[in-house]
Amino acid sequence: MNIALKTVILECKNMECLIDFYSKFLDWPVVYEEDDFVRIQSPENEMGIAVQYAEDYVAPVWPAEAGKQQIMAHLDFGVKNKAELQKAVDKAVRLGALVAKEQYGDGEWVTLTDPEGHPFCIVIWD
């Protein structure tokens, strides 16, 4: 049996904003769309990200704080070197992401939040 991860689904209130962000950030096209669910997919493989409308969505707090909405998951996006890392961070910020106030590590990754508050990292992966 071969099981593969196909889609990561992020809940949000503003689906249009969030799918627009990830579609432009990754240069992935929309491949499926309903009123409350939209999916984009990598042109190279079947990996996708979907956004799903959630009326009661509350953005998580990062880093975690007691009594606040906790992170259920976060995404890591890989680049090859520091120059690509900076370009990817700049692109994400232009598209509406925010660089997190607290950063960890040795400059090999940057933590941001997307326009709906989901944390994600851009990481140098060899």
DSSP 70-90: PP---EEEEESSHHHHHHHHH
Q: Do residues 51 and 18 make contact, with C-beta atoms less than 8 angstroms apart?
A: yes
- The answer, yes or no, to whether residue 81 has pLDDT greater than 80, is yes
Each residue's pLDDT tens digit, 10-68? 999 999 999 999 999 999 999 999 999 999 999 999 999 999 999 999 999 988 889 99
Q: Is 80 exceeded by the pLDDT of residue 126? A: no
47 and 8 in a single domain? The answer is: yes
| Confidence label for 107 from pLDDT (cuts 50, 70 and 90) | confident
The verdict on 112 and 74 lying in the same domain is yes
pTM exceeds 0.85, yes or no:
yes
Q: Residue with structure tokens 């799903």?
A: 52
CA dihedral 18, 20, 25, 27 (to 10 degrees): 140
The CATH number given to whatever domain includes residue 64 is 3.10.180.10
Q: Distance of CA 6 to CAs 28, 40, 118, Å?
A: 14, 11, 19
Range of the domain at 92: 58-126
Q: If residue 34 lies in a helix (H) or strand (E), which one and from where to where? A: strand 30-34
pLDDT score recorded for residue 72: 85
Quick one: 88 and 110 in the same domain?
yes
In the chain, the number of structural domains is: 2
- The CATH number of the domain holding residue 49 is 2.60.40.4320
74 and 52: one domain? Answer: no
Note whether 86 and 28 are within 8 A (CB): no
**Per-residue pLDDT, 103:** 94
Q: What is the percent of the chain with per-residue pLDDT over 90, rounded to a whole number?
A: 85
**126 and 64 within one domain:** yes
**pLDDT at res. 24:** 98
Tell me: do 26 and 38 sit in the same domain: yes
CA dist 50 to 10, 23, 67, Å? 6, 10, 28
